Structure 1
Amino acid sequence: MDRWKALIVLGTAQFLMVLDASVMNVSISQLVEDFDTEVTAIQAVITLYTLVMAAFMLTGGKIGDMFGRRRTFIAGLMVYAVGSGLTAVAPTVWVLALGWSVIEGLGAALVLPALAALVAGAYRDRERAIAYGVIGGLAGAGIAVGPLLGGWVTTYLTWRLVFAGEVVLVVAILCLHRWIPIGGPRRQRVQLDVLGAVLSAAGLAVIVLAVLQSGTWGWVEPRNPPFTVLGFAPTLFAVALGGVLLWLFVLQERRREADGRTPLVRLRLFGIAELRSGLATLFNQNTILLGLFFVIPLYLQVVQGLDAFETGVKLLPVSVTMLAASMSGTLLLRVASPRTIVRVGLAVLFGSAIWLLTTIKPELAGVSFALAMATMGLGMGLLASQLGNVVQSSVAEEDRGEAGGLQFTAQNLGSSLGTALIGAILIGALASAFTNNIADDPRVSDAVRQQAGIQIEAGISFVPSDQVAAALAQSPVPPEEAAAVVEHYEDAQIDGLKAAVLAAGGLTLAGFLFTGHLPAGVPARRARPSGPSGTRLNTPGT
């Protein structure tokens, strides 16, 4: 039992990192009301949280190597607790973004790479595979508990209590920190690559910001951007700028290695095929998961009119099956390879997206919706059960801090892009469908069509149809014409949601392209590798 004490502490921290993101997703409507803002503002806050983590994960992993992984883990938890406390008392959406998105995000960027490396350092062989299965399962548990706990607290008390409770949970973890092994030797006399950290963070931030704002700015034709570039929307130019910054980051890392200085990340790691495949699949998985976990609660709350707790109950099937599949991943390794398990997970996930498309209707879909969500959780859980262990087991001990940084960079970059991209597709499809619907309806006058076009150009919002009806009731629009506009808006909401889920299904199919170099043999049937620790490994559990 003593050897699993570390896993209790590390697993609890992993649970904590996942919990509040799922709480936020089911509390979107309440947050919009509490802060008197719009869905897009809360979408930006959620995106910023994962973006801050993605942008600083590499730096967090390097700090763990420099100052010790357990020490960095503890410091990160302290920063995280400060952010949680500030979030609990946030009076405005800007303070919410500072406390949750920025301070908690920076704390998580210190905690998660250290956590991944500490798990890998504390366990070996099959025990490591079990440990990563448990970590993945506890991530699933956070997704399971978050919607229910957050939904209940948000509906009957206040969402702020969740973040106050996180402070208490961090204190409990800190009291047990000595259960965690120190986690590998500390690297002395290493300077942090500050320029590399700035370039990588800026490059990722600019790309995600451009995708997030694409629904408002437009991709090519400008909609309502703050400025234009040669008459075009700035979105693609911003994406290109982010790409240039990341290219400069690569040049900076190569220069530091050539000069004999320690880079933020050793580019040679990307020469490990298993690592590349694992990171790409993690990125893809989180793009899909967080994109769907943004738009589905919107569907349940804005279209179906459910409160936060009812939304949590509707999300329970995906959470339970994800937890079960994550925890059973090590058992599946007895009969199948990680590559096979991941591919089956992607196939199940794609099937669930197609199934979900058939359930998205103005009226509640009932059992069919619940089964589609349960199937989605099964696919996600199969992916979560394998990928963390694949990434960490593909590198040597001295590279695990950097691998942890890369692992959570991929995850959180996928999360931020998923929320931004799938959300942008939702808004874009809503605007397009609404425009087409009213254009073809003789009941809608040209004046109303023109006014609707102006509103769409200024940036359409995903709001309840009752709110649209109330706004029209206060305008000179005749009641019959207003009813037709509301009807078309409701239809456009469904079309937008279906477009978002369809995009997630397309990303799932694309995920198969990244699985070619995942471990292909069944661990229980293969001999253990005899090469040095720095060589490529053939088993995910060693």
Structure 2
Amino acid sequence: MSVQAVPASHVESEVRASWVPMIAIALSQIIMSFNVAALPVSLGGMVKSFGVPPTTVATGIVVYGMLVAGLVMLGAKLLQRFGPSRVFRIAVVVFCASQVLMTFSPTATLMITAQGLIGASAAIIVPALVALIAENYRGEQQATAVGALGSARAAAGVLAFIIGGIFGTYIGWRPVFGILIAVSAIVFLLSFKLKADEARPDVTIDMVGVLLAAAAIVFMVFGFNNLNRWGLTLAAPNAPFDLLGMSPAPILIVIGIVLGQGFLMWTRKRQETGRTPLLSLEVLDSVEERAAVYAMFAVVALEASLNFTVPLYIQIVQGRTPIATAIAMMPFNLTVFFAAMLIVRLYGRLAPRQIGRYGFTLCAIALVWLAFVVRNNWNEWPVLLGLIIFGIGQGSLVTLLFNVLVTSSPKELASDVGSLRGTTQNLASAVGTATAGALLVGLLSAIALGSIAASPKLTPELQAQVDLDSINFVSNDRLQAVLSGTTATPGQVAEAVRINTESRQRALKIGLLILAGLALLSIIPAGRLPDYRPGELPDRPTRKGS
């Protein structure tokens, strides 16, 4: 859809609505974001409680993101057919019940199941937030509400790290999620303050599109999540199958991409024949809108990678408490919060294209800086400085890109914008977390195996007593405990600890440099964002055929 610039002074003034409905909307964003942000903080506690490796706990994050991304477009159509506020309330009830299961999960399997149910309810809540903002607010209030939604997401990250750090250290990880039971109940009560809406029984649900979209996302996420376990190219011994010796992980990714293209072709054909598509392609019919989606995927994937990497190193590698994670990440989360909230003040001075380029440049600079200064202590001031710089870029980009999508589409497409945003962000979060885990473990394995082979102290006889096919991130204390059950001498134990320490740090540094390269590549789609002149706002186009 075309976007034209008109002077801001010509925008009609709107009657100011009550902000009470926005409390329910913002709290809904907070409970979803809090749930995801609390998982990395609780990483160490869950690993100890369930007796599983950290990558298994990360699967909970991946499953959540996969379910949201795969079902959010279906959720948007359910909102249109039955009414946003009514369906929203049902989703909040499901979210609350799922948090009960999460809080009292006795096994990692039930924890992952709970996250899947939470993701299914969030698949409705995510597009509902955009639709409810469009229904309850207009003009400048709507822009403020969109900015508040971005700030709520950032605030949830701050709260999750503070509460998760304190509770995880002194009480346990379960009460962290127990809080969400009470807050989701409050959201349900406040939801009755939302404007009454009308159902649209004429809206049909494209089940073929649902299956294509969900299958595409499931295949892609499963592929990324198992790159390290099943093999990057050649099939590993624990791969479920192989294709002429090739790993199934990249095959699943390719199948997912093909199914995604099939979904777009099917949707375009359905729309051309006058039937209701699962996703209106009008929200993607301009270069600027597609650029916003690509850029949003990139920045959320980078954020998810960093949010997994930091707790992994602090709690698993260093063996420190959840509160140490909270303290280390606090500058980053606070910066994201304020950047998301204050970036709207620059909309009248800088074009979205400029902000996008500056934002990704800051992210790249921060990641390169971190790669050079990071040691085994995340609390050193150079590391904190790098996290703050990354937070400025990330917080600014998420709010900006969401605002570009919202202002480029008419009100009647608000739920489609919400589902597009939900699909993009949660697919990016799942892929970012899965890729970070595979990347770091893969780098660690390659570096460690090379160092072990080059060390004359670690004899083949000792190596035969240790499972080197499943190298993962462990603390030095855990490594010493494993070696105590072998014939290793004190000198060999010291050598193994040295290799473990150096390999972990090198894997982290290389991983950060790779992420910096991805941030630099993301400047390309950022350069295709809208180029409004300062003091201008995009004209909201009307829906085709209306």
TM-score of the superposed pair, with normalisation by structure 2: 0.93
**How far did residue 517 of structure 1 move?**
3.0
Q: How does 1:171-210 map to 2 (within 5 A)?
A: 171-182=185-196, 185-210=198-223
The equivalent of 1:334 in structure 2 is: 348
Deviations 1:439-466 (A, max 9, x none): 22222213344566xx343x22211121
Distance 1:450 1:211 in 2: 30
Question: Post-superposition shift, 1:163?
Answer: 2.0
* Cα distance in structure 2, aligned partners of 1:2 and 1:138: 19
Per-residue CA deviation, residues 402-431 of structure 1 (Å, 9 max, x unaligned), is 111011100000000000011110000000
Deviation of 1:335 after TM superposition, in Å, equals 1.5
Say whether 1:151 aligns with 2:161. no
Per-residue deviation at 1:319?
A: 0.9
CA distance in 2, matches of 1:337, 1:124: 22
Q: Deviations over 1:174-213 (max 9, x none)?
A: 1111322246x53223331122112211111111111111
Of 66, 73, 92 in structure 2, the residue corresponding to residue 58 of structure 1 is 73
Match of 1:212 among 225, 229, 232: 225
> Which ranges in structure 2 are unaligned for 5 or more consecutive residues?
1-15
Name the SS of the counterpart of 2:244 in structure 1: coil
Paired residue secondary structure (1:176): helix
Any idea what SS the aligned residue of 1:262 has? Answer: coil
8 Å CA contact 1:207, 1:239 repeated in 2: yes
Q: Structure 2 counterpart of 1:471, which letter?
A: V
Q: CA contact under 8 A between 2:62 and 2:431: conserved in structure 1?
A: yes
1:490 aligns with 2:501: yes
Q: What are the residue-to-residue correspondences of 1:310-321 with 2, within 5 Å?
A: 310-321=324-335
Q: Find the residue that maps to 2:19 and give its secondary structure.
A: helix
Partner of 1:243: 257
Q: Which of 58, 67, 71 is the aligned partner of 1:43?
A: 58
Instruction: Return the offset for 1:97.
Output: 1.0
Alignment equivalent of 2:107, drawn from 92, 108, 116 = 92
Deviations 1:270-289 (A, max 9, x none): 21223212211111111000
Q: Does 1:399 align with 2:406?
A: no
Residue 526 (structure 1) aligns with:
536
SS across alignment from 1:534? coil
Correspondence 1:104-503 to 2 at 5 A: 104-182=118-196, 185-224=198-237, 225-364=239-378, 366-449=380-463, 455-457=467-469, 459-503=470-514
Q: Amino acid of the residue matched to residue 11 of structure 1?
A: A
Report matched runs for 1:18-29 at 5 Å.
18-29=33-44
Deviation of 1:323 after TM superposition, in Å, equals 0.8
Paired with 1:334 and 1:257, the residues of 2 have a C-alpha distance of 36
Cα displacement (A) at 1:222: 2.0
Deviates more, 1:239-248 or 1:198-207: 239-248
Structure 2 Cα separation of the partners of residues 84 and 128 of structure 1 = 31
User: Structure 1 CA distance, aligned partners of 2:489 and 2:154?
Assistant: 50
Could you tell me whether the CA contact under 8 Å between 2:462 and 2:486 is conserved in 1?
no
* Alignment deviations for residues 218-264 of structure 1 (CA, whole Å, 9 cap, x no partner): 12122231221111211221112212322332343234334432121
Counterpart residue number, 2:9: none
How far, CA to CA, are the matches of 1:61 and 1:401 in structure 2? 5
- What CA distance in whole angstroms lies between the structure 2 residues aligned with 1:273 and 1:364? 40
Partner of 1:31: 46
- The one-letter amino acid of 2:543's match is G
In 1, Cα distance between equivalents of 2:297 and 2:500: 33
Higher mean C-alpha displacement, 495-504 vs 363-372 = 363-372
1:516 alignment counterpart: 527
The 8 Å contact of residues 304 and 364 in structure 1, kept in 2 or not, is answered as: no
- State the percentage of identical aligned residues: 28
TM-score by length of structure 1 reads 0.93
Equivalent residue for 1:540?
none
Give the letter for the 1:526 counterpart.
E
Q: 8 Å contact 1:117–1:392 — kept in the other structure?
A: no
Shift of 1:298: 0.8
CA distance in 2, matches of 1:441, 1:158: 41
Flag the 1:223–1:277 CA change in 2: closer, same or farther, 3 A.
same
Quote the Cα distance in structure 1 between the aligned partners of 2:159 and 2:96.
Answer: 20
Residue 532 of structure 1, CA deviation: 4.5
Residue deviations 1:307-360, cap 9 Å, x none? 001211111000111111111121111221222222211111111111211232
Measure, in 2, the Cα distance between the counterparts of 1:155 and 1:116: 36
What is the alpha-carbon distance in structure 2 between the residues aligned to residue 138 and residue 363 of structure 1?
Answer: 30
Aligned-residue offset at 1:518? 1.8
Counterpart position of 2:95: 80
1:70 is matched with which residue?
85
Bigger drift between 255-264 and 74-83 goes to: 255-264
SS at match of 2:18: helix
Most deviating of 281-290 and 186-195: 186-195
CA contact (8 A) 1:359 1:365 kept: no
The answer as to whether partners of 2:357 and 2:527 remain within 8 angstroms in 1 is no
> Match of 2:276, SS?
coil
User: Structure 2 vs 1, CA of residues 42 and 33 (structure 1 numbering), >3 Å: closer, same or farther?
Assistant: same
SS for the counterpart of 1:328 is: helix
What letter is aligned with 2:474?
V
Contact 2:234 2:246 in 1 (8 A): yes
The structure-2 alpha-carbon separation of the partners of 1:413 and 1:532, relative to structure 1 and needing over 3 Å to count, comes to closer
Quote the Cα distance in structure 2 between the aligned partners of 1:512 and 1:187: 40
* Aligned residue in 1 for 2:3: none
Q: Is the 8 A contact 2:532 2:538 kept in 1?
A: no
Matched-pair contact (CA < 8 Å) for 1:27–1:150: yes
**Contact 1:290–1:415 under 8 Å retained in 2:** yes
Q: State the alpha-carbon separation in 2 of the partners of residues 478 and 498 from structure 1.
A: 31
**1:60 CA drift (Å):** 0.9
Residue-by-residue CA offset, 1:28-57 (whole Å, 9 max, x unaligned):
011000011111111111111111111111
Task: Tell me the CA shift for residue 26 of structure 1.
Answer: 0.9
Q: Distance in 1 between matches of 2:430 and 2:144?
A: 28
Structure 2 SS opposite 1:190: coil
Secondary structure of the equivalent of 2:226? helix
- Which segment is superposed worse, 384-393 or 265-274? 265-274
Moved more, 322-331 or 159-168: 159-168
For the residues of structure 1 that align with 2:57 and 2:518, how far apart are their CA atoms? 24
Secondary structure of 2:522 counterpart: helix
Quick one: distance in 1 between partners of 2:26 and 2:412?
Answer: 22
Distance (whole Å) between structure 1 residues aligned to residue 296 and residue 454 of structure 2: 43
Mapped to 2, the partners of 1:330 and 1:379 lie a distance apart of: 14
